[in-house]
Structure 1
Amino acid sequence: MDRLPTRGTLERRNIPVSDSACALCEVGRETVDHIMTGCGIAAVVWEHISRWCKVPPIFGFSVRDLLELHKTTKLGVVEKEAFHGIITIACWRLWKAKNEKVFDGKEVIVKEIIGDIKAYGFLWFKYRSKHKTLAWSIWCKFAFM
């Protein structure tokens, strides 16, 4: 809905920003779609998630594409639910990484982002679904049993 305060959005609303470049990759113009789909950091995250979840490479042009991706995968009902959760968590984690860099000066470490996606995904899936006995070792090996 274009409500997140990216540099591009702020600039478009006539709020002065010193630089409109993406805080994560410092290359493209910072928009929500760039942070989630066009940024080099996001591309590495999506590549890892696609390998981990055993789905075709993840490409999207917008956040909407990402959030609807689970509908077109050849996964079972439970796996689609988990995959949708993983994508949602990944979007949140990319946004969080951007904010940590902007407001705290924290370096962007892709391994940390991916680790958080796996950890939060595990907790979400285990405690918000019927799979209470899911083991961390199985989740890390591959998301879809």
Structure 2
Amino acid sequence: MISVVQLLEIINSYKFQKNKKRAIYTVAAATCWMLWKMRNEIIFKQKVFSLTKLIGDIKAISYTWIKNRAELGELNWEIWRGFKL
């Protein structure tokens, strides 16, 4: 298992365009956030784990974060939800 710091170092080591690297960072952050939220729902609300829901939530929240913060007006949900950057 790797730490979040190691994951960010791995992402940083690749030679991507700036926008693509920011998108990957955002997906990593959204993944951490959604895993934490799902963990809390399972522990405190006795919800059932759903990998499909988790992946959908990660795609949705990361799309929203990037669309609203990265000034990428041309970002398309259909392309994003397929993770075809």
| Aligned AA (1:104) | K
Q: How does 1:112-127 map to 2 (within 5 A)?
A: 112-127=53-68
Q: When the two structures are superposed, what TM-score results if normalisation uses the length of structure 2?
A: 0.88
Q: When the two structures are superposed, what TM-score results if normalisation uses the length of structure 1?
A: 0.54
1:52-96 CA-partner distances (Å, limit 9, x unpaired): xxxxxxxxx212112333202232111000100100110111111
Counterpart position of 2:36: 95
Q: How does 1:60-99 map to 2 (within 5 A)?
A: 61-99=2-40
In 2: Cα distance, 1:126 partner to 1:133 partner: 9
Higher relative contact order (CA 8 A, sep 6+): 2
In 2: Cα distance, 1:99 partner to 1:139 partner: 27
Identity score, percent:
36
In 2: Cα distance, 1:68 partner to 1:112 partner: 28
Aligned positions, number: 85
User: What 5-or-longer segments of structure 2 have no aligned partner?
Assistant: none
In 1: Cα distance, 2:21 partner to 2:49 partner: 29
